[in-house]
Amino acid sequence: MTNFNRICLTWISWLSYALTGALVIVTGMLIKNIAQYFALPISNISFIFTFLNAGILIAIFLNAWLMEIIPLKSQLIFGFFLMILALTGLIKYHNLMVFSVCMLILGIISGITMSIGTYLITHLYHGKQRGPRLLFTDSFFSMSGVLFPIITGKFLIHNISWYWVYCTIGIIYISIFLLSLIIEFPVIHKITEIGNMKKEKWGIGVFILSISALCYILGQLSFISWIPTYATENMKMNILYAGKLVGNFWLSYMFGMWFFSFLLKFCDLHRVLVVLTGLSTFIMRWCISTNSTNMLLWLMVTLGFSSSAIYTLIITLGSLQTKQPSPKLINCILTCGTVGTMLTFIVTSPIVAKSGIHNALITSNILYLIVFIMCLLMGYFTKHRQNEKICFE
């Protein structure tokens, strides 16, 4: 593999996370405007975003097998035409069914690119390099979290229709499409033969990490999706300040990833994961109990930094439970995380409708506590130390 090819493949991985981050993160800011656009209660419209999350889940789940059948380049090129179709539907049709289908298509595109991007990073980098590279890749999710709440806030303040936010997000996929045209991708079935992965034994550690991924993503996205509405309705913030709240969370999340990508070269992955999950659980509890807007702003910054490495550490630990991870192992953990994404509004919308947004945020905190307990339990089963040494050698 040439150095140019490796760089382009790495950029595709980075942009795949940026795309998913943008699509997921803007939901919390757009949900009120979209509800008004379709003249529906906010709790009802939130269910429609389940189509976006379901699309991501379906694509990641199926791509564990499809990547061995359909070339990666072909998938990304096909995704470009799906993106044009979805954006056209959002712009031209004021119809709830069309909107739902477009959200499903956008989710499928996101799931395809994210599963490919994650696999490429685990294929290109091994041993001690893999954790920091995955962390840096995941930081592009956070970059979208910094950039797109600002863009969304500006669009809404200037009365620009919400669907133009999704058109702006589409620019990310255009970049992925153009890069995919000029490079060669690895052929997965040949890699499998070389790696001699006939029967991969995952162990109970992969199961624990998969459950942790589900609970963490469900907790994080439930919290970040409802905190803008909580801030505007319960704490009387304006939409720009609520956008700043979310933007600062993802900015510190991004800086946290860069910091931990350096720190993990010297620290044990599991120990860092336990500390970060415990700390994040405590800080989130503080966030939902404070009445001070300034305190909430700083707590969101702290929460973003402390939780930044959790999901990537879960994926990295999972990939190190075997000597050479297959696409199915990586996609298993990603699928569980995406189930958490899909369940975000299925779980929280009834809570919001019956008990209010504050109780939905408390549910997020309970999910973080479950992740902390699961990570403690993981200490008895992890095989990452011996496999990390083998890969490094």
Concatenating the DSSP letter of every residue in 208-255 gives HHHHHHHHHHHHHHHHHHHHHHHHHHTS---HHHHHHHHHHHHHHHHH
- For 8-60, the pLDDT digits (tens) are 998 999 999 999 889 988 887 788 888 888 888 877 777 777 888 888 888 88
Query: What is the C-alpha to C-alpha distance for residues 148 and 165, in angstroms, rounded to an integer?
Result: 8
Q: Which of 222-231, 259-268, 369-378 has the highest mean pLDDT?
A: 369-378
Nearest to 18 by CA among 211, 173, 217, 230: 173
Q: Is the pLDDT of residue 239 over 90?
A: no
At residue 231, the pLDDT reads: 85
Residue where the block lists tokens 């700390």: 279
At residue 192, the pLDDT reads: 45
Region of 319 please: left (phi>0), alpha (psi -120 to 50) or beta: alpha
Rg of the chain over CA atoms, in angstroms?
20
Query: What is the C-alpha to C-alpha distance for residues 365 and 198, in angstroms, rounded to an integer?
Result: 40
pLDDT cut 90: percent of the chain above it: 29
At residue 131, the pLDDT reads: 65
Residues 6 or more apart whose Cβ sits within 8 Å of residue 39: none
At residue 190, the pLDDT reads: 47
At residue 390, the pLDDT reads: 46
197: pLDDT confidence band, cut at 50, 70 and 90?
A: very low
360: pLDDT confidence band, cut at 50, 70 and 90?
A: very high
The CA–CA distances, whole Å, from 348 to 103, 107, 145, 201, 222 equal: 19, 19, 21, 36, 7
Token representation of residue 49 = 């975003």
Min mean pLDDT across 159-163, 210-214, 257-261 is at: 257-261
| Global model pTM greater than 0.75 | no
Instruction: Supply the CATH number for residue 223's domain.
Output: 1.20.1250.20
Overall number of domains in the chain: 1
* pLDDT, mean over the chain: 83
Mean of the pLDDT values across residues 151-165? Answer: 86
Region of 363 please: left (phi>0), alpha (psi -120 to 50) or beta: alpha
Mean of the pLDDT values across residues 310-324? Answer: 80
Query: What is the C-alpha to C-alpha distance for residues 152 and 165, in angstroms, rounded to an integer?
Result: 6
Nearest to 261 by CA among 318, 221, 316, 302: 316
- For 68-98, the pLDDT digits (tens) are 788 889 999 999 999 999 999 999 988 889 9
At residue 140, the pLDDT reads: 86
Q: Is 265 exposed, middle or buried (0-12, 13-18, 19+ CB in 10 A)?
A: exposed
Token representation of residue 385 = 């130390």
Q: Are 297 and 247 in contact (CB under 8 A)?
A: no
Mean of the pLDDT values across residues 336-361? Answer: 86
Min mean pLDDT across 103-117, 197-211, 225-239, 287-301 is at: 197-211
The CA–CA distances, whole Å, from 347 to 57, 301, 344 equal: 16, 26, 6
Query: What is the C-alpha to C-alpha distance for residues 172 and 246, in angstroms, rounded to an integer?
Result: 20
Coil, strand or helix at 386: helix
At residue 155, the pLDDT reads: 87
Quote the distance between the C-alpha of residue 55 and its chain's center. Answer: 13
The domain in which residue 312 lies consists of: 3-392
**274 vs 262, more confident:** 274
DSSP strand E in 183-224: where? none
206: pLDDT confidence band, cut at 50, 70 and 90?
A: confident
Q: Is the pLDDT of residue 191 over 50?
A: no
